[in-house]
Amino acid sequence: MDFEKILGKCGDCHRYQYMLMALYGFLMFVVSRHYFAQNVISFVPDHWCHHPDLEHRSFEEIAAIYSQFENPSCTRLASIDPDGGNATASSEACDRWIYNYDFGFRSMNAELNWVCDAAYKARVGQSLFFVGSMCGTLIFGLLGDTIGRIKAMILANWCGFLGDSATIFAQSLVTFSVSRFVSGLAAEANAYLMYILALEYVSPSLRNVGLNLILSVFYSLGMISASWQAVWVGEWRTFMAWSAVPLLLVTLFYFLVQESAQWLVTRHDIDGAVLRLRRVAHFNRREVSEEDFEQFRVHCKSQESASSHHSMQRQSKLMDALKTPRLRLRMINVLLVFTIITLCYNTVSRNVEGLGLSPFIMFTLFALTLPPSGLFQAQAQKSMGRKFTAVSSMVATGLMTAACGILLTFWKQPSPVLLVALILTSRFGISVCTGATMQISAELVPTCVRAWICLLMPETRNKKLPMSLAEGEQFGKGERMFDFLRRPKKEDEADLSAETHQKLVPE
């Protein structure tokens, strides 16, 4: 009676799983607002250096006066003709600006005058956010293995609340950077720990399409609500408060979500694992006999006293994986792919200004590409496999993004409609790239140590995944670069044993 069988008796596609996925959707809604709050508060409206003679002129007149200068946003005027037809520039730097607030929203950059020579300050804060994300992923990942997934997830969200709340009171580059670093500790960690729990407790039929759809829909809703709530509240500090408070609500997950039973087994707390499974069965209104739980206990104890090979497997660390030639090369490839995809994702998804439309509208349009991209990714992976989906989406997205760059370089006044269409296509593609890369990369690394570069990775669809370093070293051996384009033979699929089928990656 292994975990999959006892979970099936307790219910793996019932009331508890639906509640778990609803909570995951809520978390994705909150996480997307937290992740992109920095973008919203940093939107820079059209701005020009202040001059007394401009105070009673319309924004159109001001823009026309400054249009004769190479750098209109940061050029200070010495004098202006009464009719506005001629103006002379001053050698002095700007110390005050006129802002044309987009939809009336007063951003942080505008309030603190972090524009022109001071524009770098917001970028420094953004960089510290990602440094915090890197540290938080490591810290909360280790905590998740030490104190449990639920507690680590709650602590991560508390860091997000603390960092976003501190940002409200930031007045200098130092305080802003520190607050963004603390906020960044929650990024990624506040979501992937819940994702691990969802994967453990839901049936294979819900894992691919269900989780991908929930992630994309609620992430999209979070982005849309963030942009238009900012317009509704009108200024950035109130908006940050609205983004910070929902992170505290994740604390309630402690009373609703069961701790990972498989993690408890690895901590030799079999009774604790059984208790969580009993709660799942009770919530699902399923009757599970004591004999079934006893068989699960026996199975777990037999696993603990398995051969020394399995004991060594449980103790395997990252450094052990780096000693295996093929697996080491694969992990380097995974690291490279993640680095490239993460850079591209954030470059495309955060580039909403200077496209001829309001950044609030662009943010909404970007968000609307997420649900169809999630569905497309799930169906493509089901039909074509992880590798084909990752490689083809990267090629298509690369072409679209390159077209955007060429258009902006050689066409000084490109058609806003054409430019937005290309950008939205790139946004759709990079979402597919990110999801597919995350999934194939996670599946390729053995459990015990958890793109042209993607062509160097083996396919994972309908294959038993590596559990140990030895299996990871042998996984995909003999597979050629473009074998993923070949449909599997029927006799190859028939060769899979019943035991192997139980451990297949869900389509």
In a domain, residue 452? The reply is yes
Question: Does residue 265 sit in the same domain as residue 346?
Answer: no
Tokens representing 105? 């929203």
Question: Does residue 395 sit in the same domain as residue 325?
Answer: yes
Question: Does residue 410 sit in the same domain as residue 282?
Answer: no
Of 305, 328, 346, the one marking the end of a domain is: 305
Check residue 385 and give its pLDDT.
Answer: 74
Question: Does residue 359 sit in the same domain as residue 382?
Answer: yes
CA-closest candidate to residue 268, choices 308, 229, 311, 227: 311
Domain of residue 6, CATH code: 1.20.1250.20
Of 305, 338, 369, the one marking the end of a domain is: 305
Check residue 304 and give its pLDDT.
Answer: 67
Question: Does residue 95 sit in the same domain as residue 148?
Answer: no
In a domain, residue 105? The reply is no
Question: Does residue 405 sit in the same domain as residue 422?
Answer: yes
- Contact status, residue 243 vs residue 37, Cβ threshold 8 Å: yes
Question: Does residue 236 sit in the same domain as residue 211?
Answer: yes
In a domain, residue 187? The reply is yes
Question: Does residue 325 sit in the same domain as residue 469?
Answer: yes
Check residue 477 and give its pLDDT.
Answer: 57
In a domain, residue 113? The reply is no
Question: Does residue 336 sit in the same domain as residue 205?
Answer: no
Q: Domains in the chain: how many in total? A: 3
- pLDDT averaged over consecutive 10-residue blocks of the chain (507 residues)? 84 89 93 90 90 87 87 87 79 89 92 91 90 89 87 94 94 93 89 84 75 85 93 94 94 92 86 92 91 88 60 50 68 76 78 79 89 83 76 84 81 78 85 76 55 44 47 53 50 43 42
Check residue 231 and give its pLDDT.
Answer: 93
In a domain, residue 202? The reply is yes
Of 305, 331, 365, the one marking the end of a domain is: 305
Q: Which domain holds residue 482?
A: 313-507
pTM, full prediction: 0.78
Check residue 455 and give its pLDDT.
Answer: 38
User: DSSP alpha helices (H): ranges in 169-233?
Assistant: 173-184, 189-201, 204-207, 209-233
CA–CA dist 116, 93 (Å, integer): 10
Question: Does residue 37 sit in the same domain as residue 50?
Answer: no
In a domain, residue 215? The reply is yes
In single-letter form, the type of residue at position 77 comes to L
In a domain, residue 327? The reply is yes
Check residue 126 and give its pLDDT.
Answer: 87
CA-closest candidate to residue 345, choices 407, 414, 393, 411: 393
Question: Does residue 174 sit in the same domain as residue 60?
Answer: no
- Contact status, residue 442 vs residue 453, Cβ threshold 8 Å: no
In a domain, residue 295? The reply is yes
Tokens representing 217? 């829909």
Question: Does residue 173 sit in the same domain as residue 211?
Answer: yes
CA–CA dist 437, 451 (Å, integer): 8
Check residue 312 and give its pLDDT.
Answer: 44
